[in-house]
Structure 1
Amino acid sequence: MIERGEKLLKGLILCAGKGSRLYPFTNNRPKTLIPVTNTPLLQLSIMKLTELGIDRIGIVIHPSQETDIRGQFGEGEAFGVAITYIYQHTPKGIANALKQAEDYLAGEPFLLLLGDNLISAPLSALKNDVEHGGVQASLLLAEVEDPQDYGIAEIQDSRIVGLEEKPKHPKSNLAVIGGYAFTKEIFGAVNEITPSKRGEYEITDAIQWLIEQRHAVAYHVTDQLNIDVGTKERWLLANRKLLDAGTCKIKVHDSVRMERCTIVEPVSIDKDCVLKDCRIGPYVSVGAGSRLENIQIENSIILNGVHMKDLSFPINNVIIGEHSVVAGVLIDKEVNKP
Structure 2
Amino acid sequence: MKGLILVAGKGTRLQPFSLSRAKTLIPVANKPLLEYCIESLKKIGINEIGIVLNPAQKDICEYIDHRPADNTSITLIYQPTANGIGDAVKQAADFLKTEPFILLLGDNLINESLLSLKETILSSSINGAVLITKVSNPSDFGIAYVENNQIIKVEEKPRNSASNLAIIGAYAFDSNVLTAINHIQPSSRGEYEITDAIQWLIDHEYTISYQMTNKEYSDVGTIERWFEANRWVLDSLNRSVETADPSTTIKNCKLIPPVHIDKNCVLTNSTIGPYVSVSQGAVIDNCRIQDSIVLENVHVSDVSSLITHSIFGKGTKIDKLNIESASIECLFFDNTKIISK
How high is the TM-score relative to the length of structure 1? 0.93
Give, as a single letter, the amino acid of the residue that structure 2 aligns with 1:259: K
Matches within 5 A, 1:18-97: 18-65=10-57, 67-74=58-65, 78-97=69-88
Matched position secondary structure for 1:63 = coil
Give, as a single letter, the amino acid of the residue that structure 2 aligns with 1:204: T
Q: Name the residue aligned to 2:130.
A: 139
Cα deviation code 1:158-182 (max 9, x no counterpart): 3212111111112211110011110
- Compared CA separation, residues 75 and 162, structure 1 to 2 (3 A): farther
- Compared CA separation, residues 237 and 331, structure 1 to 2 (3 A): closer
Give, as a single letter, the amino acid of the residue that structure 2 aligns with 1:86: I
Matches within 5 A, 1:81-120: 81-120=72-111
Give, as a single letter, the amino acid of the residue that structure 1 aligns with 2:108: N
| 2:147 is the counterpart of 1:156 | yes
| 2:339 is the counterpart of 1:328 | no
Cα deviation code 1:61-81 (max 9, x no counterpart): 10111x211212228662420
- Compared CA separation, residues 125 and 331, structure 1 to 2 (3 A): closer
Matched position secondary structure for 1:219 = strand
- Compared CA separation, residues 102 and 75, structure 1 to 2 (3 A): farther
Overall identity of the aligned pairs, in %: 46
> Which residue of 146, 163, 167 corresponds with 2:158?
167
Deviation at 1:312, TM superposition (A): 0.6
Q: Name the residue aligned to 2:214.
A: 223
Deviation at 1:332, TM superposition (A): 6.3
- Distance in 2, matches of 1:96 and 1:237, equals 30
> Which residue of 283, 289, 300 corresponds with 2:281?
289
Structure 1, unmatched stretches of 5+, are: 1-8
Q: Name the residue aligned to 1:183.
A: 174
- Distance in 1, matches of 2:27 and 2:267, equals 20
- Distance in 2, matches of 1:42 and 1:89, equals 20
> Which residue of 240, 255, 259 corresponds with 1:263?
255
- Distance in 1, matches of 2:213 and 2:175, equals 25
Q: Name the residue aligned to 2:338.
A: none
Deviation at 1:200, TM superposition (A): 1.1
Deviation at 1:236, TM superposition (A): 0.5
- Distance in 1, matches of 2:188 and 2:244, equals 48
| 2:4 is the counterpart of 1:12 | yes
Deviation at 1:130, TM superposition (A): 1.5
Cα deviation code 1:44-103 (max 9, x no counterpart): 0000000011110000010111x2112122286624201000000000111111110011
- Distance in 1, matches of 2:262 and 2:204, equals 51
Give, as a single letter, the amino acid of the residue that structure 1 aligns with 2:198: I
Contact 1:261-1:278 at 8 Å conserved across structures: yes
Q: Name the residue aligned to 2:268.
A: 276
Matched position secondary structure for 1:84 = strand
Q: Name the residue aligned to 2:339.
A: none
- Distance in 2, matches of 1:247 and 1:299, equals 15
Contact 2:310-2:331 at 8 Å conserved across structures: no
Contact 1:236-1:300 at 8 Å conserved across structures: yes
Structure 2, unmatched stretches of 5+, are: 322-327, 335-341
> Which residue of 195, 198, 201 corresponds with 2:192?
201
Contact 1:325-1:334 at 8 Å conserved across structures: no
Matched position secondary structure for 1:289 = coil
Matched position secondary structure for 2:235 = helix
Q: What is the RMSD of the two structures over their aligned residues, measured on CA atoms?
A: 1.6
Give, as a single letter, the amino acid of the residue that structure 1 aligns with 2:214: D
- Compared CA separation, residues 125 and 133, structure 1 to 2 (3 A): farther
- Distance in 1, matches of 2:224 and 2:66, equals 32
- Distance in 1, matches of 2:249 and 2:331, equals 28
Contact 2:105-2:170 at 8 Å conserved across structures: yes
- Distance in 2, matches of 1:129 and 1:94, equals 22
> Which residue of 233, 238, 256 corresponds with 1:242?
233
Q: Name the residue aligned to 1:125.
A: 116
Alignment length (residue pairs): 327
- Distance in 2, matches of 1:209 and 1:159, equals 15
